[in-house]
Structure 1
Amino acid sequence: MRVEKASSTNNLGVGTLNEGSLHAALKEYYARPGDAFEVPLEGFVIDIVRAENQPDELLIEIQTGSFGAMGNKLDRLLSERRILLVHPIATETILYKPGAKPRRSPKRGSVYSLFDELVSIPTMLDHPNLEIEVVLVRVGKHQVADPRARRGRGGFRTVDRSLEAVLETHRFQTIKDLLRLVPPGLPNPFTTADLAATGCVSRDEAQRLAYCFKACGLFKPIDRTRAGYRYRLSASPHS
């Protein structure tokens, strides 16, 4: 699916001014007739507010950056509002530089990249009003020459990211849904090294996953060895 760069409005009335192209295009992708956009609420601005056949409206937040920036908003609103937190992860990235042919970046994310951000809100994962949707996407990274750019970026800096395709979505409606991300075939008990040995996650991702799952009660630490904590899956995660 090819998604063109978002304009300032579309036929659903989605305002996209002053937003990055990726955020604007995802908001347009998720929009439905009847939705309200950029709604002020308790000192915050909500991307999409959707009336559903339930007592409460659904607040949809498109978060392309750090979840740490969402902490105050979630703290304030989750007690009385249902929130769907949508997070894009680039599994494919096309680099666009002036005067050069587009090329693919070797960097590839996965659904497990979600834990890079969940470490900012681990104690909120068991909140009954929070749902998370991971969107695996192909993005275009638009770069310009900049001699001040940090070493390792080749003298270029990114000025925008555009949505080129939505590839997959993964919805986590309850805390137990997150257990789908636990690789199969683990010993009992297990360490983060065992998680990484499955080949599904890197060691860093395994450590972040374990940190989050321990905080929300999905993993129960039983002891600590030279290899680190050993865990068991909890029979009764927080809910």
Structure 2
Amino acid sequence: MGSWSSFARDLSEQLPLIFAGLLKTIQLAGLISISGLLLGIVVFYLTLSKNAAVRNCINGYISFFIGMPLIVLLFLMYYGLPQWGIRLSPFTVAFIGFSFNVAAYNAAYLKTAYNGLDKTQLEAASAQGFTPLQIFRLITLPQVIRLSIPALTNQVIANLKDSSVAFLIQYTEFFARIQELAATNFQFFKAYLVAALVYLALVSAIVLCSRAIERRYFIPA
């Protein structure tokens, strides 16, 4: 095993590239967390449709993307679509693939929270003349979001960690740069230890933010 001093020297030399990769990881994780939540809200809303055909299609969407391994989806888009004349950049593939995948999970979390709501309040709002969209926007959505904070936080953490697979479609994020560092000096343990510590620090920051949000929106029983 090489000395820590030689590893530190290689690390310092590649630090600008590693930081650039880290920024790409944070950017991707942040964007797919936002787009996945927004799309997930839309998907969740459609699961409440009174139209059986719409509900069946949306439930099929959720089942498909939850059941489809993310790496298969990314490979299908990045390596498969060019055979049909459709070429997308690594970031575009990662953003679209992750967004559809994350939205399915978020919609499932929101639907689970919805099933635990007291439906009498929704019936009372309907009796007072609220439209279905008003009931959803003013009563249903705020409550299910609050109840789903722990699950949504876990999904954000998963987004951060899963973003590391994007290097397999040539997206040069943080883990890709760590791979390059490890390949330079063959000190794989040290390189991956650095990666683990960085991911741990980022996850800890997400957890702390989540706890602050939970305290802010906590409603006593």
Larger radius of gyration: 2
- Structure-1-length-normalised TM-score: 0.28
More helix by share: 2
- Structure-2-length-normalised TM-score: 0.30
Which structure is richer in relative contact order (CA contacts within 8 A, separation 6 or more)?
2
